[in-house]
Amino acid sequence: MKPDYLPTLDLKRNYRRVKEEIRRAVDEVLEEQAFILGPALSAFEADVATYLPVPHAIGCASGSDALLLALMLLDLKPGDEVITTPFTFFATVSAITRLGAKAVFVDVDPHTYNMRTDQVLERLTDRTRAVVAVHLFGQMVPLETIEEELRSRGVVLIEDAAQAFGSWRFVDGTPRRAGSWGDLGCFSFFPTKNLGGCGDGGMVTCGDDGYASHLRSLRVHGSGKIYYHDEVGLNSRLDALQAAILRVKLRHLDEWNEERRLVADRYALLFSEAGLLGDVTPPAALEGNGHIYHQYVIRCRERDALQAFLETEGIASRVYYPLCLHLQRCFSFLGYGEGDFPAAEALSSEVLALPVFPELTGVEQERVVEAVGRFYRSRQS
């Protein structure tokens, strides 16, 4: 009998673990009938602020809006520059572009897939207003290598932590969580995230009281007092039902992230035991990082053919990301071309995300690795 299809993420398994808790939380919101900016949201924002920890956590409608709201605080002008990575989700750069600033790219570390901080320092100019550091696939950029220089130049550090809620980095023996380090932190609660809701959702974190007050105004059309508008903001609020669900899941997040790390460790062991390390390169965790493996992304030979083979075996996989942002047609006006960021471009042709979620079993992982092994053995015959 053909085995069941193995998805990259099984949300149903995860839901079954907290089903009753979530239903009770949703029922409480339904009884209160306070759906917009109500007590459920305030409670979730307070929980996040305590967890990270940060002084302020402001819910919004999506991770994309979180980035947009954070950058709106800076009142960017044409000619202003924002440094970031070309190997990330589209929203990172679309937010910069939408506000009229220029995205300035740096290449990535081919082992961690994160932006090269040495190149960030090289790209700083008098026009640099911000750096958007993307904590990709669940592990953090080593921000200690750039924070002092950015601070001395008055450059705002924004953490794109959409894929990294709960990850951390040890610096001088102290853990610093993603989203608590920079001037602003941006999160997504899209259902597939480690901390995911049952719809869209996002959050911006910060330590500055002025930023926090401004963000709370911007998310309600730039209004401080109802029907009185100081500026043109957005309609971007995290609704109470999502907040209640996320509050339940936050209580379990550390346990689930630890289970993801165990899955990652098991993959690395299985690939090694199968003698596949010449064909497959598992993701590397930078020393000092608490990687939470939002995605388990390998580098591999003949990526597209391997992905097609896995599909025939009933195993899902995904490519993050098949075309770097500096090569996307809509960003051609930035003037970049093929070969400008060789490490990022190489990753786009080699990376493959394998199934990874807390409930993934060892037997299922063995099935994935055995299928990968069969593929490469078939190429040798």
Per residue, the 3-state secondary structure of the chain, as one string, reads CCCCCECCCCHHHHHHHHHHHHHHHHHHHHHHCCCCCCHHHHHHHHHHHHHCCCCEEEEECCHHHHHHHHHHCCCCCCCCEEEECCCCCHHHHHHHHHCCCEEEECCECCCCCCECHHHHHHHCCCCEEEEEEECHHHCCCCHHHCHHHHHHHCCEEEEECCCCCCCEEEECCEEEECCCCCCEEEEECCCCCCCCCCCCCEEEEECCHHHHHHHHHHCECCEEECCEECCCCCECCCCHHHHHHHHHHHCCHHHHHHHHHHHHHHHHHHHHHCCCCCCEECCCCCCCEECCCCCEEEEECCHHHHHHHHHHCCECCECCCCCCHHHCHHHHHHCCCCCCCHHHHHHHHHEEEECCCCCCCHHHHHHHHHHHHHHHHHHHC
| Residue whose tokens read 């932006």 | 115
Q: Is 193 an annotated catalytic residue? A: yes
CA gap 222, 234 in Å, rounded:
7
154 φ/ψ sector (left φ>0, alpha ψ -120 to 50, else beta): left
- CB neighbourhood size of 342 (10 A): 12
CA gap 229, 250 in Å, rounded:
34
Pairing of strands 128-134, 81-84: parallel
What is the radius of gyration, based on Cα positions, of the chain? 21
Strand-pairing partners, residue 351, are 299
- Of the residues 2, 193, 225, 249, only one is catalytic, namely 193
- Indicate which residues carry an active-site annotation: 193
